[in-house]
Structure 1
Amino acid sequence: MRKLLFISTLFISFLGFAQKKTLQTKIISDKITVDGKINEAVWETVAPATDFVMFQPDNGKPIAENKRTEVKVLYDNDAIYISAKLYDDEPDKILKEISQRDDFGTTDFFGVFVNGYNDGQQNFQFFVNAADGQADCLSTDTNGEDYSWDAVWESKAVITNFGWVVEMRIPYAALRFSSEKIQKWGLNFFREIKRDRQKYSWNYIDSKIGTFTQQNGVLEGIQNIKTSTRLFLLPYSSFYINSGAHQKTYGTLKGGLDLKYGINDAFTLDMILIPDFGQTKYDDKILNLGPFEQQFNENRPFFTEGTDLFSKGNLVYSRRIGGSPSNYPTIKSNEEIIDNPANVSLINALKVSGRTKNGLGVGILNAVTEKTSAVIRNNDNQQTRNEVVEPLANYNVLVLDQRFRKNSSIAFVNTNVTRNGSFRDGNVSALVWDLNTKKNTYNLAGDFKYSYVTDVESKKGIATTLNFAETTGKYRYSFGGDLYTKDFDNNDLGINFETNYYSFYGNANYRILNPTKHFNGFRVNYNNFLQFRKDTGKIQGSNINVNVNLETKKNNSVGFGINVNPFERYDYYEPRTAGRFAISPTSYSFWAYYSRNYNYKFAFEINPEYSKANEAGRNYYEINLGPRYRFNDKLALNYNFGYSKRSNNKGFVDSIDGDLNPITPETIVFANRDVITYSNTLGGKYSINSKMNFNLSVRQYWSYAENKNYLSLEQNGRLKELPSYTENKNSSFYSWNMDLSYSWWFAPGSQVSVLYRNSAANFENVINKDFGENVKNLLNNQELQHVFSVSVRYFIDYNQVKHVF
């Protein structure tokens, strides 16, 4: 009888999961103090959201009574208010590591997901953890969660004798919604019990369906709200002290202003005037022996916040804005460059973004960079001259993104770079689509891009991609292809390395949706890829990959896989000469990883890899080892050691005229080399509380390429000995970066940051293999730079200060 009752209850529960839950709210006039006490009488006037359901690992399992969760929502003309009671039968075991904003750490957390348009396309997500820390992000099924987005809101979390409670105030300025009198929002609540690694949601999120944002419940009752003017000012002041062996110690005072203005309830204007990015994270530079530039992460807040619209079509690489100059100075034999700026200064930038009630998203990005010149000296008469390496330049992005049927979209994207004078200009337009069936069973995604570049000569090119996928169930698959013409070029505002090819790819995978006897999670993938040179039909790339990823019952992660390159590949990029190619041999590789559950105070990760090419002595192996230790809820350290060795690697080092080989007008020189890399990184944090944190980040990197002998590249793509070449083309690059920072969020949206940074880097052709001496020389290097900076940013809400004026 009990078994029959259990099955009936389970059936009724799952029948309810197929329907969206609805929560009612009401307007209030009483003031609510966000203190985690939830003692205002008005909270008793609305019903709670209850009956949470497990998302992971046992998808669909109702939450236990002793872990029940009750959430209520109220609102006024300025904000919505959320109270949550999170019951726990063992409150002393609640994990509550203190960490900085947007870093969950090892702690329980509670989240609120809001979609003001209830269109199933984008969630504004707000999290509070048991240590009273905040995190927020924008979430879409296409791009995942973007934690670079930061809003200004209030919260308080308190541990109690029955579990813990959360109280939140989210102003309408942090949300987007239509101007309708009667609002109906998409809404969901999320909870993770960290010690059990169990995640729950209020409205059931079916893991068989490959979508997250479309499985919200509904919030009803918001109507006739009169939102305040959304005008926020963020003035800042920064002071820098710079010191180095080749320069006098000097101080610099900077000041500026960021502005955010709500054009209406849906659209927002963001502006930066006199930007200051001096405290952004350093770049992890490497010894780059390949034919393409190194791609860096974007760390500047203005260019990372809320970039969902601007990422459509993958056409924007924002590091181009204020990046390295687009031209290199030309000099005569009696001249030398004495100053060539590494970066171009940004004058100002603005963004306008939002979405109409009919689902049309509009994004506009504009930035202006200043005219930049190199200084060149004539060694005969010691006179100097300036040569423009980057003129005054204007960068523009326009995005029009139409959503429909709550799960699909079609977008038009245009990027344009206009440089003053007779310099290169670039324009790229794209049509991008992401189409899903009504039940989110199948997806058709792709794009069509057109580029037009005017330089010494104009060129036009196209690129297109198309991908079809089954997106639900235990068994899923996808397949697609790309086509890029030779003259497609989006590198003025984007980044693209390869053109003049077409490719085909496919994937099939299996996953478990609920835990089994041995695993909490299990997934096996099969991938294949084949790329052809468009004008010759030769194979440029090939890969077959099988990998397995699983999570044990103790929540340790394990993975392993094999990669096979079954065909010789024709590399048209490594020779650095148009029309020439080098043949790469077939190869195979194995890799594995293990990651211990981060809930343990001591955890570690290990990731070995081995690769073997079908060529004598040509192989590659790498290992990364990363232990971490959490001393207590305030102090934690993590370390990572990486080592790799490429034996008998073949790569370009030089091109010379026909003196060594009169039959060939140009000799392309390759080296047979060993490439060895060491990296050590140390990270640490000490959190006084959730608003006051110390952080340490140290990176030591050394990589060298030792050439054993030199080879000439033949017209057929093969290599042969070149004993007549005797130049030293060895490479050794080593760098050091250390950041020690203090951050204090002294008021909502307002922050004091103190940073000490020292850094050094050096490249040379002489290889010193004494590791200890190498590091010592680097730290004693005359190029070691020291920077100490203090920055204060203050958030001003116009509505709170308007009475002053």
Structure 2
Amino acid sequence: MKEIFFLSFLLSTSFVFSQKKTLQAQPISQSIVVDGKLDEAAWENTPLATDFVMFEPDNGKPIPNTKRSEIKVLYNNDALYIGAMLYDDEPDKILKEISQRDNFGTADIFGVFINGFNDGQQNFEFFVSASDVQGDCIMTDANGEDFTWDAVWISKARLSDKGWIVEIKIPYAALRFSAENKQTWGINFFREIKRERKKYTWNLIDTKIGTFTQQNGNLEGIENIKPPTRLFFMPYASYYLNAGEGQKTYGTMKGGMDIKYGINDAFTLDAILIPDFGQTKYDDQILNLGPFEQQFNENRAFFTEGTDLFNKGNMFYSRRIGGAPSIDPDLNDDEKIIENVQNVNLINALKVSGRTKNGLGIGILNAVTEKTFAVIQDTISGATRREVVEPLTNYNVLVLDQRFRKNSSVTLINTNVSRNTHYRDANVTGLAWDLNTKANTYNLSGNVKYSLINAEEDKKGIYSTIGFAETSGNYRYSFGSDFVSKDFDPNDLGINFYTNYYNFYGNANYRILNPTKLFNSFKINLNLYSEFNKESGKVQDNSINANVNLTTVKNNYYGTGITFYPLESYDYYEPRADNRYVALPQRIEWWGSISTNYNYKFALDLNPTLLLFNQSGRLNYGIDIGPRYRFNDKLLLTYTFSYLRKDNNKGYIDSVDEDDNESTPETIVFANRNVITYANTLGGKYAINSAMTLNLAVRQYWSYAENKDILELEQDGTLSPHPQYTENKNSSFYSWNADLSYSWWFAPGSQVSVLYRNSAANFERTIDKEFKSNVADLLTNTALKHVFSVSVKYFIDYNAIKNKIRKRA
């Protein structure tokens, strides 16, 4: 009986994966004008891809005939052409908000997913909205959709009285495929009808199976095409005009080039020569009262585009490259720093990445930053000197990722930071695995990492984790454990805050796989977590969490969750001293979330939070309120107000050696304080057309911590009064950032960007609690920095130049 059941299971599994539709591509010799009309003769008798089925929310349901989709594929020696007739019985209701590239807003979408090797590993996805906006990404099951990847291709969308039409030309240089004479590609087509919030695909993507890329259909009929030389040049020129109160106004010119070269069918070299990141988004700085640095998002395109391999094992934090200096200069008693840098300049960077047809992914990233100095002044004599705060530094990442059975992988990762001469070097090596059963029903994942720091005293550490999960069906579960040694330190090229602990965790959840009369989606989770200090065995963290997330049939989202911390725990990080800890009381936390349907002109996001401590007068509460209004298809405004208050917060403020006795430990000083934070964020977009947009981003932030009582941390983790400490350690940080930008994609892959930015920030020990005067003072009495910049980048395709030369010859 067991043998029969097992055989039936294998047959059903293979049947699921064998349900692949097939489409024949039609060869052509005539030229196609990409104008959204599909009026060339070549389109007339080409085989159709039709009979779409729903992906979400009612998986597997056929698309209504009134909204049928008919797709055709042509090809020649240079490119693949896709023509799509997307019928709609209410064409006047098609949503068509104009937005920036890769951000479709509230608009219908058509997409094509292509895997030139047809190996189920990676899709190249190309999207066009009903407002003629492009989007593209790389899709893998492990990392999802990476929209930082940008290709150069041509498309045109046009509305008609029957629905809307899309015409696409994808040059072969934007794809990856073998050199075989006869090709069978993996392909799927996607359509989202935005007003109904329904998504459809040509080949069924069964949501009960934990994979996306393995459920493509087949594209046959492609013969006698060759992978082109993938060599692209992107020269740029930028001009910056900087001004500020009390500062000399000055202008600077920059120029450089990005290069992309296809080493072979699978691997690509990306290099930046003389990089320019002056127009990247500003960082949302905060008043950081905690023991750890603030982690920032990566906004530099080179370090976000196509980096899925480098993110394996969670060992690479790209903001380390060109980040703050790593060395604090040594100062004598009468010296001060008069000139320092916030970020070290990047000299150049390159990366090589790709994957063979046998599933071996290889990634190499290398970057070099320049030797950097601080200027130090003697306050008595006035003499100055320079001291190194960052030597010439080389950063390197190597990844070897072997995929097998299309849904599993084993990965070797190494990160290395080498600083010139006698400065600190760092090396971290990790082995990670992500193993799935053939039917994608169970997953075993984990990793082991080893760090080695070469400094005055060498430091070695280990991090390991293992987890098991059921990944299919209505009911799912997972459990696992982590172990981190005290000296594990990946922070020269990674980021990790917590060490010296081990933990155990588990999850059980239920979800609906198809809509009901009330919900389009519904999921309920139960999570358990326990964490212990590795040396003392004390509880560092413990929690029981339950949460519910759902979307109604009207596509409004609601979520809520509650977390209990039933045991007293011990924080080993807040005291900033070895083997010291502060006791944390029992507590309970609640959060809620509402996000109304963005299809409506007016929508609202609402996120309240509440945290109650088993300690007199101590609680946290806050709220984020985010209304948004779409005036028309061109103009959108968003606003978010955030407020967070922490009453009787207990936190570190100083360490004091009060009796000058080396054998006596320092007194660790805490404060009982109120911490209050306000933030206002305004965003705006005006689209002139699908290639031109004006964008506004404004952020005002103010947070202060007012100390009420000074406390001393005792050896048992309790806090006692410490009135002897009289230094003012109140904190008030406020900042302002405003960006107004214009973007014009004037040719495929080529862009003009114009940016005006002003910003200001200040930190004080004196707290002015008047919100209005606080903001006004920031904008009037604090030196605003103004930057006006223009940047032009132009895309040059080696193949296009070669073809033009041939035609002239």
Q: Which category describes the TM-score, using the shorter chain as reference length?
A: over 0.9
**Rounded Cα–Cα distance in structure 1 between residues aligned with 2:565 and 2:137:** 39
CA offsets 1:537-584 (integer angstroms, 9 cap, x no match): 111111211111111111111111101111111111100011111111
Contact 2:119/2:357 (8 A) holds in 1 = no
SS in 2 for 1:772: helix
CA offsets 1:209-266 (integer angstroms, 9 cap, x no match): 2222221112122233123221111000000000011311110011001111111121
Between 171-180 and 475-484, the greater mean CA deviation after superposition? 171-180
Matched letter for residue 181 of structure 2: K
Matched letter for residue 569 of structure 1: S
Matched letter for residue 625 of structure 1: I
Indicate the residue corresponding to 1:364 in structure 2.
364
Deviation at 1:76, TM superposition (A): 2.0
SS in 2 for 1:728: coil
Alignment of 1:280-679 (within 5 A): 280-659=280-659, 664-679=664-679
SS in 2 for 1:248: coil
Structure 1 runs not aligned, ≥5 long: 1-14
Indicate the residue corresponding to 1:742 in structure 2.
742
SS in 2 for 1:658: coil
Indicate the residue corresponding to 1:766 in structure 2.
766
SS in 2 for 1:483: strand
CA offsets 1:413-464 (integer angstroms, 9 cap, x no match): 1111100011000111111111110100101111111111101111211111
**Rounded Cα–Cα distance in structure 1 between residues aligned with 2:551 and 2:189:** 25
Deviation at 1:18, TM superposition (A): 6.1
CA offsets 1:254-284 (integer angstroms, 9 cap, x no match): 1001111111121111110000000000000
**Rounded Cα–Cα distance in structure 2 between residues aligned with 1:78 and 1:426:** 46
**Rounded Cα–Cα distance in structure 2 between residues aligned with 1:669 and 1:663:** 18
Q: Does 1:205 align with 2:205?
A: yes
Q: Does 1:252 align with 2:249?
A: no
**Rounded Cα–Cα distance in structure 2 between residues aligned with 1:483 and 1:434:** 18
**Rounded Cα–Cα distance in structure 2 between residues aligned with 1:670 and 1:149:** 47
SS in 2 for 1:310: coil
**Rounded Cα–Cα distance in structure 1 between residues aligned with 2:183 and 2:350:** 30
Between 748-757 and 210-219, the greater mean CA deviation after superposition? 210-219
Contact 1:17/1:203 (8 A) holds in 2 = no
CA offsets 1:622-641 (integer angstroms, 9 cap, x no match): 10000000000000100000
Between 35-44 and 276-285, the greater mean CA deviation after superposition? 35-44
Matched letter for residue 345 of structure 1: N
**Rounded Cα–Cα distance in structure 1 between residues aligned with 2:223 and 2:401:** 27
Matched letter for residue 283 of structure 1: D
Contact 1:244/1:782 (8 A) holds in 2 = no
**Rounded Cα–Cα distance in structure 2 between residues aligned with 1:421 and 1:78:** 51
When residues 68 and 95 of structure 1 are mapped into structure 2, their CA distance, relative to the original with a 3 A threshold, is same
Alignment of 1:163-312 (within 5 A): 163-312=163-312
**Rounded Cα–Cα distance in structure 2 between residues aligned with 1:18 and 1:220:** 16
Deviation at 1:804, TM superposition (A): 5.2
Matched letter for residue 779 of structure 1: L
Contact 1:587/1:611 (8 A) holds in 2 = yes
Between 653-662 and 208-217, the greater mean CA deviation after superposition? 653-662
Q: Does 1:732 align with 2:726?
A: no
Q: Does 1:128 align with 2:134?
A: no
**Rounded Cα–Cα distance in structure 2 between residues aligned with 1:79 and 1:641:** 48
**Rounded Cα–Cα distance in structure 2 between residues aligned with 1:174 and 1:662:** 65
Contact 1:77/1:227 (8 A) holds in 2 = no
Deviation at 1:521, TM superposition (A): 1.1
Alignment of 1:97-112 (within 5 A): 97-112=97-112
**Rounded Cα–Cα distance in structure 2 between residues aligned with 1:223 and 1:485:** 56
Q: Does 1:79 align with 2:87?
A: no
Matched letter for residue 731 of structure 1: S
SS in 2 for 1:159: strand
When residues 626 and 661 of structure 1 are mapped into structure 2, their CA distance, relative to the original with a 3 A threshold, is farther
**Rounded Cα–Cα distance in structure 2 between residues aligned with 1:500 and 1:665:** 22
Indicate the residue corresponding to 1:6 in structure 2.
none
**Rounded Cα–Cα distance in structure 2 between residues aligned with 1:305 and 1:285:** 24
Contact 2:17/2:215 (8 A) holds in 1 = no
Q: Does 1:775 align with 2:782?
A: no
Deviation at 1:664, TM superposition (A): 4.9
Contact 2:177/2:227 (8 A) holds in 1 = no
Between 91-100 and 172-181, the greater mean CA deviation after superposition? 172-181
**Rounded Cα–Cα distance in structure 2 between residues aligned with 1:121 and 1:610:** 43
The number of equivalent residue pairs is: 792
**Rounded Cα–Cα distance in structure 1 between residues aligned with 2:413 and 2:29:** 44
**Rounded Cα–Cα distance in structure 2 between residues aligned with 1:599 and 1:57:** 16
CA offsets 1:494-552 (integer angstroms, 9 cap, x no match): 00101111111111111111111111111111111111111111111112111111111
Could you state the TM-score of these two structures normalised by the residue count of structure 1?
0.97
**Rounded Cα–Cα distance in structure 1 between residues aligned with 2:727 and 2:646:** 22
**Rounded Cα–Cα distance in structure 2 between residues aligned with 1:527 and 1:574:** 25
Contact 1:77/1:228 (8 A) holds in 2 = no
Between 693-702 and 459-468, the greater mean CA deviation after superposition? 459-468
Contact 1:231/1:261 (8 A) holds in 2 = yes
CA offsets 1:9-35 (integer angstroms, 9 cap, x no match): xxxxxx999611111213322211111
CA offsets 1:677-730 (integer angstroms, 9 cap, x no match): 000000000001110000000000000000001100000111001111111100
Indicate the residue corresponding to 2:791 in structure 1.
791
Structure 2 runs not aligned, ≥5 long: 1-14
Contact 2:155/2:167 (8 A) holds in 1 = yes
Matched letter for residue 251 of structure 2: G
Between 738-747 and 133-142, the greater mean CA deviation after superposition? 133-142
**Rounded Cα–Cα distance in structure 2 between residues aligned with 1:336 and 1:124:** 54
Deviation at 1:55, TM superposition (A): 0.9
CA offsets 1:593-651 (integer angstroms, 9 cap, x no match): 11110000011111111110111011000100000000000001000000010000000
**Rounded Cα–Cα distance in structure 2 between residues aligned with 1:205 and 1:221:** 23
**Rounded Cα–Cα distance in structure 2 between residues aligned with 1:760 and 1:436:** 50
Between 363-372 and 478-487, the greater mean CA deviation after superposition? 478-487
Contact 1:25/1:75 (8 A) holds in 2 = yes
Matched letter for residue 552 of structure 1: T
Contact 2:449/2:464 (8 A) holds in 1 = yes
**Rounded Cα–Cα distance in structure 2 between residues aligned with 1:176 and 1:506:** 40
**Rounded Cα–Cα distance in structure 2 between residues aligned with 1:439 and 1:781:** 64
Contact 2:178/2:227 (8 A) holds in 1 = no
**Rounded Cα–Cα distance in structure 2 between residues aligned with 1:106 and 1:646:** 37
SS in 2 for 1:473: coil
Contact 1:760/1:781 (8 A) holds in 2 = no
CA offsets 1:324-366 (integer angstroms, 9 cap, x no match): 0011111000111001111100000001111111111111100
Deviation at 1:294, TM superposition (A): 0.2
SS in 1 for 2:100: coil
When residues 422 and 662 of structure 1 are mapped into structure 2, their CA distance, relative to the original with a 3 A threshold, is closer
When residues 17 and 632 of structure 1 are mapped into structure 2, their CA distance, relative to the original with a 3 A threshold, is farther
**Rounded Cα–Cα distance in structure 2 between residues aligned with 1:617 and 1:324:** 39
**Rounded Cα–Cα distance in structure 1 between residues aligned with 2:573 and 2:500:** 11
Contact 1:178/1:356 (8 A) holds in 2 = no
SS in 2 for 1:778: helix
**Rounded Cα–Cα distance in structure 2 between residues aligned with 1:663 and 1:450:** 34
Contact 2:762/2:782 (8 A) holds in 1 = no
When residues 270 and 556 of structure 1 are mapped into structure 2, their CA distance, relative to the original with a 3 A threshold, is same
Deviation at 1:121, TM superposition (A): 2.2
When residues 16 and 651 of structure 1 are mapped into structure 2, their CA distance, relative to the original with a 3 A threshold, is closer
When residues 719 and 216 of structure 1 are mapped into structure 2, their CA distance, relative to the original with a 3 A threshold, is same
When residues 16 and 545 of structure 1 are mapped into structure 2, their CA distance, relative to the original with a 3 A threshold, is closer
